[in-house]
C-alpha cells in the first residue's frame, strides 16, 4: 500500500436492512480518509463543510450538493458549528436499471452542484431542482409509516440523476461539428456503444469495435465519446472492468488472478497496476478491507454507530 494511504472501509449500518441512511450531522469532528460501498450525498444546511477527495478539496457552502460515488476515498472536515445532511444509499438498484448506462460515466466521479458558481440560468435551474428533490428525500425519510417509502425515495434519486444527465448531455454532447446531427440520434448511437462495452468488457474489445457498434468512424467516435463521458474509451473500459472486479473480489472462492481474467484483464500485472491507479490500493488490500481486521467503532451524531475497518500492517504486506 502507498505510504500516504491508510484508507479505511466503512460498513454503513442501514436501518432494518434498508438500503438508505440519512441523518443530520452537527458534530464538530473530522473523519479520516475512508471509503464505503454506498454512494453518499452531502448537503450543508448551516455553515459550510469541507470534503477532500484525492487532491481535490471541496469547500461546500450552505445548500451546495456534493455526490461522492461508491468506493471513492474521501475525508471530511467540519467547522466549529454547523449542520449538514449526510445521505448514504446503495447505488446498485439505480445503476442496474436498463438504459442507465449513459449516466454511469457522469456519476463515476464526484459531482458538485452549486448555484453560486454558475452564471448560466440552466445551472441555477439545475441546483434549484436538485435542491427541491433533496428536500423531498429529507422529508420522506423519517416517515416509516409511509407505504413504499424506500421506492419513493429512490424515485426522487432517479429524478435527481436524470436532471444531472440531461444537463450534461445538453452542455457537452452537442459540439459544433455534432450540431448537424439530431441530438436523439447521436445520443442513441453513443448509448449503444456504452451498452456494447457493458456487455463485452470481460472480452478483448477495441475502440474500433465500440465505434462500429455506434456506427461511427474510429476518429469521430473517439471525439464524441470523450465529450459524452469525459473519459477516453480505454479509461472508461478500465473503469468498467475495475467496477466489476470490486464485486468479484468479495467472492472468497476467487483468487486475484481469477478476478483479473473474469473482469477482462489479460495479465495480473496490468490488473494490479490499473486497480491501484483507480482505487489507490491493490486488489489484495481491497480484499483485506472486507475481512474485518482492525475493527473499531465510530459514534455518529444520531447515536448510531458505524463500523470501520482498518488495514493492518499484516494486510499491507500481502502480495498479489
Please name each of the domains of the chain with its CATH number.
Answer: 1-173 (2.60.120.280)
Q: Give the rounded percent of residues in the chain with a pLDDT score beyond 70.
A: 76
Nearest to 264 by CA among 198, 189, 179, 168: 198
What integer pLDDT is reported at residue 16 of this predicted model? 64
What integer pLDDT is reported at residue 268 of this predicted model? 94
As a whole number of angstroms, the distance between CA 128 and CA 126 comes to 5
Q: Is the pTM of this model over 0.75?
A: no
Which triple of cell numbers denotes residue 53?
477527495
pLDDT digits (tens, 9 = 90+) for 2-61: 323 344 556 566 666 678 999 999 988 888 888 777 889 999 999 999 999 878 899 999
Give how far the C-alpha of residue 74 lies from the chain's centroid of Cα atoms, to the nearest Å. 12
As a whole number of angstroms, the distance between CA 72 and CA 278 comes to 9
Using the structure block, give the residue that is written with the C-alpha cell 441523518: 23
Stretch (H or E) spanning 270: helix 268-279
pLDDT level of residue 121 (50, 70, 90 thresholds):
low
As a whole number of angstroms, the distance between CA 292 and CA 194 comes to 35
Is the pLDDT confidence value at 298 over 90?
no
On average, the pLDDT of the chain sits at: 79
Which triple of cell numbers denotes residue 195?
451498452
pLDDT digits (tens, 9 = 90+) for 174-191: 444 445 455 667 777 888
Amino acid at each position: 500500500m502507498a505510504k500516504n494511504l491508510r484508507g479505511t472501509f466503512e460498513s454503513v449500518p442501514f436501518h432494518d436492512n434498508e438500503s438508505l441512511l440519512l441523518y443530520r450531522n452537527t458534530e464538530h469532528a473530522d473523519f479520516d480518509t475512508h471509503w464505503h460501498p454506498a454512494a453518499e450525498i452531502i448537503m450543508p444546511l448551516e455553515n459550510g463543510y469541507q470534503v477532500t477527495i484525492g487532491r481535490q478539496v471541496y469547500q461546500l457552502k450552505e445548500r451546495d450538493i456534493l455526490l461522492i460515488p461508491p468506493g471513492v476515498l474521501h475525508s471530511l472536515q467540519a467547522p466549529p458549528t454547523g449542520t449538514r445532511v449526510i445521505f448514504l444509499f446503495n447505488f446498485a438498484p439505480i445503476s442496474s436499471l436498463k438504459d442507465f448506462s449513459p449516466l454511469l460515466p457522469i456519476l463515476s466521479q464526484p459531482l458538485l452542484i452549486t448555484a453560486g458558481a454558475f452564471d448560466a440560468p440552466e445551472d441555477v435551474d439545475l441546483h434549484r431542482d436538485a435542491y427541491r428533490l433533496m428536500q423531498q428525500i429529507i422529508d420522506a425519510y423519517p416517515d416509516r409509516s409511509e407505504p413504499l417509502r424506500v421506492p419513493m425515495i429512490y424515485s426522487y434519486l432517479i429524478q435527481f440523476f436524470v436532471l444531472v444527465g440531461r444537463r450534461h448531455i445538453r452542455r457537452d454532447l452537442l459540439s459544433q461539428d455534432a450540431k448537424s446531427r439530431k441530438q436523439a440520434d447521436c445520443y442513441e448511437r453513443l448509448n449503444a456503444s456504452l451498452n456494447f462495452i457493458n456487455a463485452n468488457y470481460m472480452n478483448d474489445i477495441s475502440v474500433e469495435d465500440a465505434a462500429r457498434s455506434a456506427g461511427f468512424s474510429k476518429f469521430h467516435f473517439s471525439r464524441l465519446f470523450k465529450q459524452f463521458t469525459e473519459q477516453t474509451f480505454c479509461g472508461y473500459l478500465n473503469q468498467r472492468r475495475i467496477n466489476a472486479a470490486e464485486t468479484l473480489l468479495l467472492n472468497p472462492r476467487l483468487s486475484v488472478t481469477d478476478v483479473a481474467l473474469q473482469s477482462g484483464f489479460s495479465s495480473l500485472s496490468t490488473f494490479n497496476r490499473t486497480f491501484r491507479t483507480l482505487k489507490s490500493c491493490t486488489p489484495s488490500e481491497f480484499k483485506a478491507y472486507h475481512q474485518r481486521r482492525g475493527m473499531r467503532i465510530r459514534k455518529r451524531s444520531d447515536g448510531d454507530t458505524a463500523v470501520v475497518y482498518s488495514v493492518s500492517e499484516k494486510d499491507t504486506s500481502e502480495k498479489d
